[in-house]
C-alpha cells in the first residue's frame, strides 16, 4: 500500500491504535510516550504489528516524502459493531439485552476511554484535510475514562436489564488503564469528542435492539 501511494502520489492513512502504548506507565498517554509492550505475549502480534506499520509509514515519509497521516485510535464503539466481535461494549450490550450474565474479565477495575464512532470519523476527516507537514501520530479518542464495572452498570441502567455481573479470568497482558491525551488533536485540528458515554450507549443500544429483534 505504501508503494502504491508512492507511485500514485496519494495521501495514505494508517489506522494505528492505542495498543502501541501497551500496558502504559504514563497516564494519560501522549503521542510522545513510547509505550510498554510485551514483544512475545498473545497480544504482541497486534501491538507490534501496528508499531511496525507506523515505522514503515515514517520510513516512507523519510525516504520518499510520502504524505502520511497516522491516527492512534483508542477504544471506539457505536452502531454497526458486530454482535460477536468480542469487544466489551458490544458484549455487554448484547448480554444485557438477552438477559445473560455480563462477563467482567478480571476484577473489572481496569479502565478504558470510549469514543463514539461519529466523533472518531470526524477526527479522520480533519486529519486527512491537514497540510502535508502534519503526519501525526495523533491520538483520537474520548478522554472520559471508566472502569469496566462502571460500563457494565451504565449498560444495565440504560437497557433496564436484570443481568447479573459475572467474573472471568483477565486475558494475559490486558492493559490496566488507558486514556488518550488529545491535546495535539485539539490544538492542531480543533478536534475533540462531542458525544458522551451515555448518549453514545443509547444510540448503540438502540442499534442492537433492532438487530436482535430481526
Q: Which residue in the set 50, 69, 112, 156 belongs to the binding site for ligand UDP (CB under 6 A)?
A: 112
Nearer to ligand UDP, 110 or 161 (CB): 110
Q: Which residue in the set 56, 171, 194, 210 belongs to the binding site for ligand UDP (CB under 6 A)?
A: 171
In 65-174, alpha helices (H): 88-98, 117-128, 148-159
Whether the upstream peptide bond of residue 137 has omega within 30° of 0, thus cis, is yes
106: left (phi over 0), alpha (psi -120 to 50) or beta: left
Nearer to ligand UDP, 12 or 54 (CB): 54
Helix (H, G, I), strand (E, B) or coil at 110: coil
- Show Cβ contacts of residue 114 under 8 Å, excluding neighbours closer than 6 positions: 75, 76, 77, 89, 142, 144, 146, 151, 197, 200
Query: What's the min distance (Å) between Cβ of 204 and ligand UDP?
Result: 13
Residue 174 near ligand UDP by CB under 6 A: yes
Q: Spot the catalytic one: 21, 33, 46, 116.
A: 46
Nearer to ligand UDP, 68 or 88 (CB): 88
Integer Cα distance of 185 and 165 in angstroms: 36
Residue 105 near ligand UDP by CB under 6 A: yes
For residue 21, indicate whether it is catalytic. no
Nearer to ligand UDP, 53 or 88 (CB): 88
Nearer to ligand UDP, 67 or 90 (CB): 90
Integer Cα distance of 178 and 119 in angstroms: 18
DSSP 35-88: -B--TTSTTHHHHHHHHHHHHHHHHHHHHH---EEEEEEPPEE-TT--TTS--H
Q: Which residue in the set 148, 182, 184, 189 belongs to the binding site for ligand UDP (CB under 6 A)?
A: 148
Integer Cα distance of 105 and 103 in angstroms: 6
- The 57-96 site mask, x for binding ligand UDP (CB under 6 A), equals ------------------x-----------xx--x-----
Contact residues: ligand UDP, CB under 6 A: 75, 87-88, 91, 103-105, 110, 112, 148, 171, 174
Catalytic residues: 46
Amino acid at each position: 500500500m505504501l508503494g502504491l501511494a508512492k507511485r500514485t502520489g496519494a495521501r495514505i492513512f494508517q489506522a494505528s491504535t492505542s495498543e502501541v502504548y501497551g500496558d502504559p506507565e504514563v497516564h494519560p498517554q501522549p503521542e510522545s510516550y513510547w509505550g510498554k509492550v510485551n514483544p512475545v505475549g498473545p497480544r504482541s502480534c497486534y501491538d507490534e504489528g501496528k508499531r511496525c506499520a507506523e515505522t514503515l509509514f515514517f520510513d516512507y515519509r523519510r525516504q520518499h516524502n510520502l504524505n502520511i497521516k497516522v491516527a492512534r485510535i483508542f477504544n471506539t464503539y457505536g452502531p454497526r459493531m458486530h454482535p460477536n466481535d468480542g469487544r466489551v461494549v458490544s458484549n455487554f450490550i448484547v448480554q444485557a439485552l438477552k438477559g445473560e450474565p455480563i462477563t467482567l474479565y478480571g476484577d473489572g477495575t481496569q479502565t478504558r476511554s470510549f469514543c463514539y464512532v461519529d466523533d472518531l470519523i470526524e477526527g479522520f476527516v480533519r486529519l486527512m484535510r491537514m497540510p502535508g507537514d502534519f503526519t501525526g501520530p495523533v491520538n483520537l479518542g474520548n478522554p472520559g475514562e471508566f472502569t469496566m464495572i462502571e460500563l457494565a452498570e451504565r449498560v444495565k441502567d440504560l437497557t433496564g436489564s436484570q443481568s447479573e455481573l459475572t467474573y472471568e479470568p483477565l486475558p494475559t497482558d490486558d492493559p490496566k488503564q488507558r486514556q488518550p491525551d488529545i491535546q495535539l488533536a485539539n490544538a492542531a485540528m480543533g478536534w475533540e469528542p462531542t458525544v458522551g458515554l451515555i448518549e453514545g450507549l443509547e444510540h448503540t443500544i438502540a442499534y442492537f435492539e433492532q438487530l436482535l429483534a430481526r
